[in-house]
Structure 1
Amino acid sequence: MDSLIKFVQDEFVTKKEFPEFVAGDTITVYYEIKEGEKSRTQFFRGVVIQRRGKGLTETFTIRKMSGTVGVERIFPVNMPALQKVEVNKRGKVRRARIYYLRNLTGKKARIKERRFTE
């Protein structure tokens, strides 16, 4: 049964190509919003809290601070409205899911930047 589902997903669903990003990275997600007959592009910039799932059911959670309130948004990787993903900064964290960031404020909530040569 699993192989049949995997076959159908591979054949009929087109997977979008996005740059590699992991938890701790700061990314900007551009997605389309439809309001009535009009459509516009909106972006959401924040820190990746986690990536969950695999294949077509994969999702990622982004957290940003809007004033003093933390806002989190979950994006499916294969969402049709998703237009592009930009990686702004690479973060250096030691966990795959950084839920502890929710409890931190101010300078403690900063993530060190990961430096590497390409």
Structure 2
Amino acid sequence: MSQQVMNLVEKTSMKPEVPKFEIGDTVDVHVEILEGDKKRIQIFNGVVIARSGSGTREMFTVRRIVQGEGVERKFPLHSPRIAAIEVKRSAIVRRAKLYFLRDRVGKAVRLKERRVERAAEEAAKPKRRRGKKAKAAAEE
């Protein structure tokens, strides 16, 4: 009985639409900040180096470099303080956790970009013909 109640509470507190992002993606996390009696949104951008947990307890870690110092922040995925998550760039990685980036400096921190959208666009385009067949098709 109590497990059913816990599951019901978890389902109601989960966000309905969470963008799909993976380890290695560069994201902008829009976080609501309370300053006195004012609310404002602060954007924290960086590379997702880890994801952990499941359900409402799912967390993700974002790392960025500020004035030569590495800054990491852990966010609950379904937190009401997170206004939005924007995926800016996807990268090709072969690890579940990118903790090795902590030891790297400068250009060594860069990750190879994954170009998913471009592959989908090229598949939709008709192929251009070259050579004699192309000339014959153009004349018709």
The alignment's TM-score, normalised by the length of structure 1, stands at 0.92
Aligned partners of 2:32 and 2:41 also within 8 Å: yes
Matched to 2:104, the amino acid is L
Please identify, of 13-22 and 92-101, the stretch whose mean Cα deviation from structure 2 is larger: 13-22
Larger radius of gyration: 2
Aligned partners of 1:22 and 1:96 also within 8 Å: no
- 1:38-81 alpha-carbon deviations (Å, 9 max, x no partner): 11110000000111100100000000000110000000012111
Tell me what 2:50 maps to: 50
* Structure 2 counterparts to residues 67-106 of structure 1, below 5 A: 67-106=67-106
Give the Cα–Cα distance (whole angstroms) in 2 for the partners of residues 20 and 70 of structure 1: 25
Aligned partners of 2:61 and 2:73 also within 8 Å: yes
Give the Cα–Cα distance (whole angstroms) in 2 for the partners of residues 54 and 39 of structure 1: 29
Q: How many residues align?
A: 117
* Structure 2 counterparts to residues 1-118 of structure 1, below 5 A: 2-10=3-11, 12-116=12-116, 117-118=119-120
Matched to 2:94, the amino acid is R
Query: What value does the CA root-mean-square deviation take over the aligned residues?
Result: 1.4
Matched to 1:7, the amino acid is L
Matched to 1:39, the amino acid is K
Aligned partners of 2:14 and 2:56 also within 8 Å: no
More strand by share: 1
Give the Cα–Cα distance (whole angstroms) in 2 for the partners of residues 23 and 54 of structure 1: 15
The alignment's TM-score, normalised by the length of structure 2, stands at 0.78
Give the Cα–Cα distance (whole angstroms) in 2 for the partners of residues 48 and 93 of structure 1: 11
- 1:86-114 alpha-carbon deviations (Å, 9 max, x no partner): 00000110011110000011111100001
Q: Which runs of 5+ in 1 are unaligned?
A: none
Where relative contact order (Cα < 8 A, 6+ residues apart) is larger, the structure is 1
Identity of aligned residues (%): 44
Give the Cα–Cα distance (whole angstroms) in 1 for the partners of residues 26 and 79 of structure 2: 20
